[in-house]
Structure 1
Amino acid sequence: MHDDVFAARRGVQMRRMLRQHPGAALGVLFILVLLLASLFAPLPYDPMGIDGGATLRSPGGEHWFGTDGAGGDVFSRVIYAARVDLSLALAGTVLSLVVGVLLGLAASSKGKGSERLVRGLDAFQAFPLLILALALVSLSGNKLYMVVVAIALINVPRFMRLLRSEVLSLRESRFIEAATATGASPRRIIFRHLLPNVWGIVLVQTSLTVANAIVVIASLSFLGIGVSPPTPSWGSMIRDGAGNMSSGEWWIAGFAGLAVVLCVLAFNQLADAIGDRTARTYR
């Protein structure tokens, strides 16, 4: 019963937050429409098909976003690429969140083990993580699951440091001392007192991580790593269309680049709204 009331209250707070932040509401609407279209909407053309007789056609009634150098429909490819890129970004973010939160809780405990964990993280971050991610994906033969692992490698340290700093500051709070004095177990303190009070800032970092993951996936695809042809990806579409920009065929790279920009902007707007709501709640 208590969990149902808590969930209903969270739902009301989310709706109120979106009403107060129209940019975040538009961002959420854009992401939902894009995801639903990529998963369920019938595409006008095969996103992986080619048509040698319809190459480099400008946007119009037959091809809304035009066609690329192989005659592929750019609109169908942009929408299908959302399924691929957003799925990888969300999967990488969830993995980053789970591992980062667990490591952050472990690093916030007292003892030599937590100190060793923090030192190990410092040593790990001494490596250029994006280069390490590029190497892992390349050596795996462009396996998509390694793209998810690469995103996690880049973002797990951020979640871990964020959660550790928040938990360490909360452990000195009076309500934590009171819970400890009443005999609450460490597990209850973590799940009933600590995590609910840091969840807002964790959600902010989650939204920012999705935005960062979209950029990473697009960058990998632009370099020819990760999502392999003929599967569409926004980064590979930008790479393929970049050579046509000088001759006026802007739409191949333009619409794919616009999709990346709008997705990143949407998740950043959502992060700003959650951060503002969290600041008001704990002010």
Structure 2
Amino acid sequence: MSAGSILLIMLIISIAVSPYDSGMDSLFGLICVYLFILSMSLIIKIICTLSLRTLFIATDVEIRSGKVTRKGFKVKRSIQWQDVTKIDVDPFILTIQNAQIEIRMKLTLDNYEPLFEIMRAKVPRKALTSEASDFISRPVATIPPGTMIMRYDRWGKIFLSIISIALWAGLWGAYIFAPGDKTLISWTGVFLFVLSISPIIGLLELSHSYFVLSAEGIERRSFYLKNVFIPWNEVESIRYKWSNYGGAYYVRGAGKKIELDGWLDGMPQFSKYVVNKVPPERWDNVKMDIMKEIRD
């Protein structure tokens, strides 16, 4: 669940438990406050991103880090490949060092594969840690024959079921036991009813939806959404982001999107299909996660 959704639920509950009558004016004010906070958070995020973002340029000779200014690209740090003394990788950062300085790069950046090609050709092997050598290598994996079904595992179902039930009970408990007069039908009650449908849909999704992996592509089959199939040769990008229930892979291609939560069984097999069927430049910013799934 996103931060905006949580904020909206909190605001609605605050009106539900209020001892005063909750009419259209209160709901209109709630929506205005929600939209104001949401718009301000987006503006702050854009400003921080533009002002703090560091760009990286790699050539056959060196790698440079800096920022784009009105006068062009301002270089802050530069390391020639022949002077590299160490390259290391942790779960979040790729670090390139020479005797004096270091350049740190988040693993979620795009367009990593061209950088890996340069590193494999220009950086001495002794400068690579075992993690870095594994990270920049060309991964190899064997895919299983036939098709495979991916479903939510048992612990994922239990955890997400508890969250859904708690959310549903909390919404209606706050409304029913709040002080003040309440009619059977009110605008707050209507909003709570709409919100309480979401956990029920989530529980049904856990039980009846699944994913199919095959040599041709990946398919999502849902009990209430339209089935989506993306051929491997049409996959445009694979990203790892925060989803409603934790980390998830987002597969995009052919104008479609498939979201695979981390609670699913069969993530190692999914990773093997990605390695074998999708060009590495289309999933290079999740390479660490993909290779970890294969090794596990």
**Higher-strand-fraction structure:** 2
**Higher-helix-fraction structure:** 1
Bigger-Rg structure (1/2) = 2
TM norm. shorter chain > 0.5: no
TM-score normalised over the length of structure 1: 0.25
TM-score normalised over the length of structure 2: 0.24
